[in-house]
Amino acid sequence: MTPAFTVVVPTVGRTTLSTLLRSIDACPPPYPAEIVVVDDRPGSPPPLDLPTTDLPTTVVRSGGRGPAAARNAGWRHAGTEWVAFLDDDVVVGSDWTLRLAEDLDVAEDVGATQGRIVVPLPGHRRPTDAERGTAGLAGARWITADMAYRRATLAEVGGFDERFPRAYREDADLALRVCRVGYRVVGGHRRTVHPVRVDPWFASLRAQAGNADDALMRRRHGRRWRELIGEGRGRIGSHAVTTAAGVLGLAVFAPAGSRLRSFGVGAAAVWVAATAEFAVGRLLRGPATSAEIVRMAVTSVLIPPLACAHRVRGARRARRTVREPAAVLFDRDDTVIVDVPYLSDASLVRPVAGAASALRRLRGAGVPVGIVSNQSGVAIGLITPEQLGEVNARVVQLLGPFDTVQVCPHADRDGCGCRKPAPGLIRRAAAELGVDVRRCVVIGDTGADVGAAVAAGALAVLVPTSRTRAAEVESARRTAMVAPDIESAVDLAMGAMR
Catalytic residues: 331, 333
CATH no. of 327-494: 3.40.50.1000
What tens digit of pLDDT does each residue of 144-161 get? 999 999 999 998 778 898
Residue 404: beta bridge partners? 370
d(CA 430, CA 458): 10
What's the average model confidence in pLDDT over 265-292?
Answer: 93
The dihedral formed by the CA atoms of 431, 432, 437 and 443, expressed in degrees to the nearest 10: -150
Q: What's this model's pTM, rounded to 2 decimal places?
A: 0.71
pLDDT single digits (tens) 337-386: 999 999 999 999 999 999 998 998 888 777 889 999 999 999 999 999 99
Segments of 29-154 assigned E as strands: 34-39, 57-61, 82-86, 91-92, 110-118, 146-150
Q: Does domain 5-197 have CATH number 3.90.550.10?
A: yes
Give 496's pLDDT tier (boundaries 50, 70, 90). low
The reported pLDDT for the residue numbered 498 is: 52
Residue 497 has pLDDT above 70, yes or no: no
Which of the two residues, 425 and 366, has the higher pLDDT score? Answer: 425
**pLDDT category of residue 275 using cuts at 50, 70 and 90:** very high
Query: In the prediction, which pLDDT does 322 show?
Result: 62
Cα 104 to Cα 318: distance, rounded to the nearest angstrom: 35
- Domain 327-494 in the same topology as domain 5-197: no
Ranges of H-type helices in 322-423: 355-364, 385-399
User: Which of the pair, 17 or 135, is modelled with greater confidence?
Assistant: 17
Confidence of residue 86 (pLDDT cuts 50, 70, 90): very high
Q: Is the pLDDT of residue 187 over 90?
A: yes
With pLDDT > 70 as the criterion, what percentage of the chain qualifies? 99
User: Predicted confidence band at 247 (pLDDT cuts at 50, 70, 90)?
Assistant: very high
User: Is cis: bond before 30, omega within 30 of 0?
Assistant: yes
Does the N-terminal peptide bond of residue 287 adopt cis geometry, omega within 30 degrees of 0?
Answer: no
Higher pLDDT, 296 or 201: 296
pLDDT at 91 over 60: yes
Domain locations in the chain as residue ranges: 5-197, 200-320, 327-494
